[in-house]
């Protein structure tokens, strides 16, 4: 009988402890592991063209999502229309004693101030255009080599591995160099595929339009136009349609913008494919800054620190899978 009483008391004690834990948890007294903290600075270029507009949209989405999950987080977002302004913004964020920073460089010349942030011990995540040396805790980028290799291979196949192609480049910078070198190296595998010209359009619709107008005057036959950026492709398409010519078979951009995905889904004859270059890369970068500062890693990732470099995949988008990449809420 005495033994039964002891067992009963043990059971009651366990139930009591469990009840207390449940009550505390229901009142929010027990902090969850996901309750992240920190003041996060975010520095990026002003949205001067469509892709950066999408990037800015994803910044706001990530900030709102993280605030909802972890109200203790604080975000300071600054945009700059030139590299001097961005350097000043980063200095300002340091003065405001941020714990971590996400930097989308205006161009690689911002490296010196990024190094200053990094050496100060602020958790630093750099993305996209990069820096001239590894002055960061994490660098995340879309796959610039894969991005243009996949695109050039698709153009070559669509043309039957022979034809004349023109290229409209972006802003001269490390990632643009990777892209153009990859296009040339991939095209060189096919003797029948000729790159007539390659000029910078600075990731700008109007500048790309001017470059395309020049190409149309200079070259009597063009089979494909590769802009590697959807904003520039808008300008190139406009110039072609206004010219009255009908020789070009393919226009390929990149970044999978809403308007180009719609063209693919609706069976446009000139725009039949695209390659992903996700603007939500910056949202992932914000997540990396939060995880890194809070000494967390990915679930199922056995190392104690996040990877130094993360490269996202470049995926070919056609009519068969365009709907999977279409986001109706994203800006264009």
Q: What digits encode the pLDDT tens for the residues 164-191?
A: 999 999 988 878 899 999 999 999 999 9
Residue 43 and residue 49: Cα distance in Å, rounded? Answer: 17
Mean pLDDT of 11-26: 38
Q: How far is CA 127 from CA 17, 91, 253, 289, 313, in A?
A: 48, 18, 21, 11, 14
CA 185 remoteness from chain centre: 24
* Positive or negative: CA dihedral 104, 106, 108, 114: negative
Question: What confidence tier does 228 reach under pLDDT thresholds 50, 70, 90?
Answer: confident
The predicted model scores a pTM of: 0.80
Q: Which of 179, 138, 175, 150 is nearest to 284 (CA)?
A: 138
Residue 160 and residue 199: Cα distance in Å, rounded? Answer: 25
Q: Which of 212, 158, 145, 126 is nearest to 184 (CA)?
A: 145
Question: What confidence tier does 32 reach under pLDDT thresholds 50, 70, 90?
Answer: very low
Per-residue tokens: 299: 């679930």
Q: Which of 187, 191, 208, 313 is nearest to 251 (CA)?
A: 208
Residue 24 and residue 37: Cα distance in Å, rounded? Answer: 21
Q: What is the pLDDT of residue 34?
A: 61
Determine how β-strand 38-45 pairs with β-strand 73-80: parallel
Mean pLDDT of 237-251: 97
Residue 96 and residue 154: Cα distance in Å, rounded? Answer: 48
C-beta of residue 8 within 8 angstroms of C-beta of residue 14? no
Q: Which residue has the tokens 């993305």?
A: 127
> Does position 111 have pLDDT exceeding 70, yes or no?
yes
Residue 18 exposed, middle or buried by CB count within 10 Å (0-12, 13-18, 19+): exposed
C-beta of residue 45 within 8 angstroms of C-beta of residue 52? yes
pLDDT in tens, 261-300: 999 999 999 999 999 998 999 999 999 999 999 999 998 9
Q: How many CA atoms lie within 13 A of 154 on its CB side?
A: 25
């Amino acid at each position: 009988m005495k033994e039964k009483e002891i067992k009963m008391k043990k059971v009651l004690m366990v139930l009591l402890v469990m009840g207390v834990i449940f009550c505390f948890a229901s009142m929010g007294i027990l902090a969850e592991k996901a309750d992240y903290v920190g003041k996060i600075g975010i520095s990026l270029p002003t949205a001067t063209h469509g892709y950066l507009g999408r990037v800015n949209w994803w910044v706001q989405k990530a900030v709102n999502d993280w605030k909802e999950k972890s109200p203790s987080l604080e975000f300071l977002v600054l945009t700059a229309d030139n590299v001097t302004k961005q350097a000043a913004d980063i200095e300002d964020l340091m003065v405001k004693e941020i714990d971590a920073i996400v930097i989308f460089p205006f161009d690689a010349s911002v490296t010196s101030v990024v190094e200053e942030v990094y050496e100060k011990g602020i958790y630093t995540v750099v993305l996209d255009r990069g820096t001239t040396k590894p002055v960061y805790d994490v660098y995340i980028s879309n796959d610039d080599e894969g991005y243009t290799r996949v695109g050039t291979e698709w153009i070559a196949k669509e043309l039957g591995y022979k034809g004349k192609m023109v290229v409209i480049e972006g802003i001269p910078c490390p990632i643009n160099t990777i892209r153009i070198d990859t296009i040339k190296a991939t095209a060189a595998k096919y003797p029948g595929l000729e790159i007539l010209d390659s000029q910078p359009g600075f990731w700008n619709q109007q500048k790309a339009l001017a470059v395309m107008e020049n190409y149309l005057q200079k070259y009597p036959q063009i089979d494909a136009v590769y802009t590697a950026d959807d904003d520039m492709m808008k300008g190139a398409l406009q110039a072609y349609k206004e010219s009255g010519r009908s020789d070009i078979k393919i226009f390929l951009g990149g970044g999978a913008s809403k308007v180009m995905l719609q063209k693919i889904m609706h069976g446009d004859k000139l725009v039949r494919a695209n390659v992903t270059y996700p603007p939500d890369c910056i949202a992932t970068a914000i997540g990396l800054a939060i995880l890194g500062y809070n000494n967390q890693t990915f679930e199922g990732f056995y190392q104690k620190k996040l990877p130094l470099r993360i490269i996202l995949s470049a995926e070919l988008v056609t009519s068969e899978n365009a709907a999977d990449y279409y986001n109706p809420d994203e800006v264009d």
